[in-house]
Amino acid sequence: MLKKLITFVMLILIFIGLGVGVYFAVFSKENAEEEKVNEAIFSLLQTKQIEVSEFFTFGRCFNFSGKLSSVSKDNFESAKLYLTDGSGFEKIYPVEGKFEGNDFVLSTTNQINSGLLLDDLPEGRYVALVRLKLNNSINPKYYSLVNGSEYGNLEYDTITKEDASRRVKIEFKSQIYENQEYQYLEFNVVRGEKPTEVYDVVIDAGHGGKDIGEKAGSDTEADIALAYAKLLKERLETQGLKIKLTRDNVNTNTYTATNMYDENGRITIACQSKAKYMVSFHINNGKEGLRGVEIYAPCKSNLNLAQNMANKIIAYTDVEYSNNHSFKKGEGVYVRNFTQNVINEYTNTANKKGYEPYHITLDTPYLYTIREVGGIATNAYVDGRNTSYSANPYYHSNQGIECYQIEMGYIKNDLLILKTQMEQYVTAISEAILENL
């Protein structure tokens, strides 16, 4: 009996030893791989770093701006954003740059809906570097990014796809390499279910409640916009996307012209969704001869999606491109910013009411549905100083939604088409959105 017990104990010890050995072998291998990756990344780096002054996600893209001190303009050749995992994966993105004295001021792009497309990143860990080519150097020089902004780390959930969503953790980290501390920007992409409160697209039906918008007989802009919003939601959900409405049959009666930033207001609901895209439905009124679709897009953005939506609407319905020439950027595509005259009016109103004027520039979008869901990317500004409106809790957010306001037509000349061709109209918009994903 004792002999069997001793044998049993010895077997247990052997198994424990094997387990410990395997564990340390795996641990050592992982350690060695991590050291190899760190060496591949950090051995490239200059000790000087780029100070990031601003970074944000807008739509599905990540962008940043910052500066590198003490760079000779005469010696500079080119700059690129370089994304690497340290073991074979690398991707290069363009960088816009200019010199201010001896500082090289750079940004990933001058278009807020371009840049680093987060949905394209496969699972893994990546470090973002800036690669400079100098005239007096054969090899490029690499610089890591240090957070000099007021913002902390971000989490981004990709568009819902058949292969499940991925979460991108965007973090500034530090690492000791050869007795030198490096701060750097990391993108860690992991597979996981999209959180319940996070959506892909948010759809806004303009007006609502006591605010009926435009009216022709018994037809109101608010009712037609809501019908379009609900149908677009249904179409996109059949393609597997998560959709959020800012208003529906339940909450529509609570809306007014001034409560969009309240706890349950349309802008707050939209921003809480963390959606990538927003479509806001409206109908125009205007001079007797005006007709046609107008799609308003964010400024400082490429207009590809807006133009595709406009083209498809024209192809699938009897609606025409709008014959309104104000703010026009393309056929059916418009970008409306504040003008200096309107900025002066806002300043005069602030002075009369006794609050500090908002910081509004010629690059600030005029339409609040576009501006206030974009955060810092679109110069959102409603912070509550004008007490006629509550503060937008997300006005200074660095996670923005790419919003398009669709003025579907003019109520005097396009109403019949809008009432009878809703299916075709919504098909056009849904196809354009899906082609952009």
Residues 330 and 310: beta-carbon distance below 8 Å: yes
Residue 29: the pLDDT is 44
Instruction: Tell whether 15 is covered by a domain.
Output: no
Question: Which amino acid type is present at position 211?
Answer: D
Residue 387, classed as helix, strand or coil, is coil
Q: What angle do CA 145, 151, 156 make, to 5 degrees?
A: 85
Judgement on whether residues 72 and 152 belong to the same structural domain of the protein: yes
Could you give the CA distance from residue 32 to residue 21 in angstroms, rounded to a whole number?
16
Q: Give how many domains the chain has, as a whole number.
A: 2
CATH code for the domain in which residue 346 is found: 3.40.630.40
Judgement on whether residues 306 and 165 belong to the same structural domain of the protein: no
Residue 31: the pLDDT is 56
Instruction: Tell whether 83 is covered by a domain.
Output: yes
- For the record, the structure tokens of 136 come out as 């007096």
Helix (H) or strand (E) holding 408: strand 402-410
Taking the model in full, what pTM does it have?
Answer: 0.90
Last residue of a domain, one of 165, 191, 217: 191
Instruction: Tell whether 2 is covered by a domain.
Output: no
pLDDT in tens, the chain (437 residues): 566 667 666 667 666 665 555 444 444 444 556 677 778 898 889 989 999 999 999 999 999 999 999 887 877 888 999 999 999 899 999 999 999 988 999 999 889 999 999 999 999 999 999 999 877 777 899 999 999 999 999 999 999 977 678 999 999 999 888 888 899 999 999 998 889 999 999 999 999 888 899 999 999 999 999 999 999 999 999 999 999 999 987 776 777 778 889 988 999 999 999 999 999 999 999 888 999 999 999 999 999 999 999 999 999 999 999 999 999 999 999 999 999 999 999 999 999 999 999 999 999 999 999 999 999 999 999 999 999 999 999 999 999 999 999 999 999 999 999 999 999 999 999 999 999 99
Last residue of a domain, one of 138, 171, 191: 191
Residues 227 and 281: beta-carbon distance below 8 Å: no
Residue 139: the pLDDT is 84
Instruction: Tell whether 4 is covered by a domain.
Output: no
Judgement on whether residues 169 and 227 belong to the same structural domain of the protein: no
Judgement on whether residues 410 and 293 belong to the same structural domain of the protein: yes
- For the record, the structure tokens of 149 come out as 């902004």
Tell which residue, 197, 294, 211, has the closest CA to residue 260: 211
CA distances from 1 to 5, 8, 10, 12, 127 (A): 6, 11, 14, 17, 61
Note down the domain range covering 131.
Answer: 45-191
Instruction: Tell whether 302 is covered by a domain.
Output: yes
Could you give the CA distance from residue 103 to residue 323 in angstroms, rounded to a whole number?
46
* Residue 275 φ/ψ, nearest 5 degrees: -70, 160
CATH code for the domain in which residue 175 is found: 2.60.40
Judgement on whether residues 78 and 140 belong to the same structural domain of the protein: yes
Judgement on whether residues 96 and 242 belong to the same structural domain of the protein: no
